[in-house]
Amino acid sequence: MIVFMLVRIFLFLVVISGFIFSQTTVNFNYTGAFQTWTVPSCVSGNVTVTVRGGKGGGALGGAGAVVTGVISVTPGQVLRIYVGGQGGCPTGGWNGGGNGGFQNTFSGQTLACGGGGATDVRVAPYGLANRVIVAGGGGGQSGGSTPMYIDYTFYYSDGYAPGGNGGCPNGLQGFDSFGIGGQGGTLINGGTGGAPWCSPCGQPGFSGSLAIGGNGGDDIQNIYAAGGGGGGGVYGGGGGGADGCCIGANGGGGGGGGSSLVPAGGVCSSTNNANGSASISYLCPLPIELVSFYTECNENEIIFKWTTQMEINNEYYEIQGSNSGNDWFKIDRINGKGTSFMINNYEYRYKFNRFKYYRLLTIDKNKNEEVISTITNNCNNYQFEKWSIYPLPCMEQCQITVVSDEWFEIFDISGKKVEEFFVKFSNEPYVLQTEKYQKGIYYIKSRSGNNFKKLVIY
């Protein structure tokens, strides 16, 4: 049985066969350049990847494909993620989208648009042959006049035409108008470009190729209704053919969608209507299974107590404190039990009441750390010491810990003040260098209090 419990954004706890794993999802948005991700050392075997191809350009641009599948990885392996862009008008989306054909506008004619770029993940050496998952981009909408009728059964429009969707796995054809829509890419070939309404007056669309959508055909004669660009993919979709009949021509053909690479057992849909994106989810074993973490209070100290019932490769715990909940200060570290499947009880005594919040971290032997519990200080009604000095007696140096900024004064045994100094509240103790004093007995006090502490220097 698998149980999920949300613990923070993009992080889940998963219980598998008695072991606890953290499930983390890393997201990649469109940037116009490839991005990298290094497989963490705790990951073994595989990761789950979702890639979304870019939508074709224009309101009627084809949807990008969405592919989810499992791919094999090794710790330390570097993956490259190519996130496809949504097609523009007339430019194609980054990572393979073909451009819409060239045209001008006349009395509200709509520009032809480019195909959406594919989104893919690659392993070294990062060539097109090294793609392990691909989501095809949608074909671009063609140029032309506003359609009065679109037939979604027979892929026909009487004005500018929709682009075909990125495929699962084969891309869908662009819609026909007076120019013919480009064909969708397949897993072995690019989509064929669509024919123009007439060959002397308009160009055919260009065929797609490996990873690249074909450009839409130009409206050569009247420049008012060009073809849409094909979407990128495993193989790109073909560009749509131009219309070019006359001033105010009806429409060119829509670009074909690009094809997708779906890993074995993966799923695919044609549903993305924006820029492409990608996400990688992976499981890492948590080093501990925490039963409880709480504090007890007395007049002199806070006592932290926690219990675990399983520890895996756990090196140590760290207790931290904060007054804001954002900036955390280390209090101390406590050694863990390594790997243990027994109940283990821990206790740590802290002589200061400095913070509103406390949290417990676990750090494994690979230096991966995880916050496993955060609690609110329930000891605010107790009056603790405001500062301490240790070790006593001092030899060469002592350390002073404070709960807030404080001025200190040191007196010799006759009562003469020999030094005063300021200690700022900090995560680290203030180091008092004592080699400058003669050996003997001194007294130290804070300006905010009347209590003297004996300071023996030797």
* DSSP string across 340-365: E-S-EEEEEEE-----SEEEEEEEET
Q: What is the pLDDT of residues 192-203, one digit of tens each?
A: 999 999 888 889
CATH 2.60.40.3080 domain locations along the chain: 387-457
Residue 221 has pLDDT above 80, yes or no: no
Cα 221 to the center of its chain, rounded Å: 49
Residue percentage of the chain with pLDDT more than 70 = 93
pLDDT for residue 402 = 83
**Lowest mean pLDDT, pick from 133-137, 157-161, 309-313:** 309-313
Q: Are strands 11-16 and 19-29 parallel, antiparallel or unpaired?
A: antiparallel
- pTM score of the predicted model: 0.68
Is 219 a residue whose pLDDT tops 50? yes
Please say if the pLDDT value at position 17 is more than 50.
Answer: no
What SS3 class is residue 143? coil
Instruction: Report how far apart, in Å, the C-alpha atoms of 111 and of each of 116, 160, 198, 221, 366 are.
Output: 16, 9, 19, 16, 56
- How far apart CA 309 and CA 337 sit, in angstroms, is 11
Query: Would you list the DSSP string of 280-327?
Result: EEEEEE-SEEEEEEEEEE-SS-EEEEEEEEEEEEEEEEEEEEESSSSS
Beta strands in 30-118 (DSSP E): 35-38, 45-52, 64-73, 78-82
Query: What digits encode the pLDDT tens for the residues 249-293?
Result: 889 999 999 999 999 999 999 999 999 999 999 988 767 888 899
Residue closest to 205 by CA, chosen among 196, 281, 313: 196
Q: Classify residue 167 by its DSSP letter.
A: P
Place of tokens 């392996």: 77
Q: What percent of the chain has pLDDT over 90?
A: 59
CA distances from 108 to 104, 222, 328, 337, 364 (A): 10, 14, 60, 74, 64
For position 7, what pLDDT does the model report?
Answer: 27
Mean pLDDT taken over the chain: 89
- List the beta strands (DSSP E) in 175-301: 267-272, 277-285, 288-297
For CATH 2.60.40.10, the residue range(s) in the chain are: 287-376
CATH superfamily of this structure's domain 287-376: Immunoglobulins (2.60.40.10)
Q: What CATH code would you report for 387-457?
A: 2.60.40.3080
Q: How far apart are CA 134 and CA 130, in angstroms?
A: 11
Both structure tokens of 52:
């979304």
Structure confidence at residue 414 as a pLDDT band (50, 70, 90): confident
pLDDT score for 41: 82
Q: Decide if 182 contacts 192 (C-beta within 8 A).
A: yes
Residues 59-100 have pLDDT tens digits of 999 999 999 999 999 999 999 999 999 999 999 999 999 999
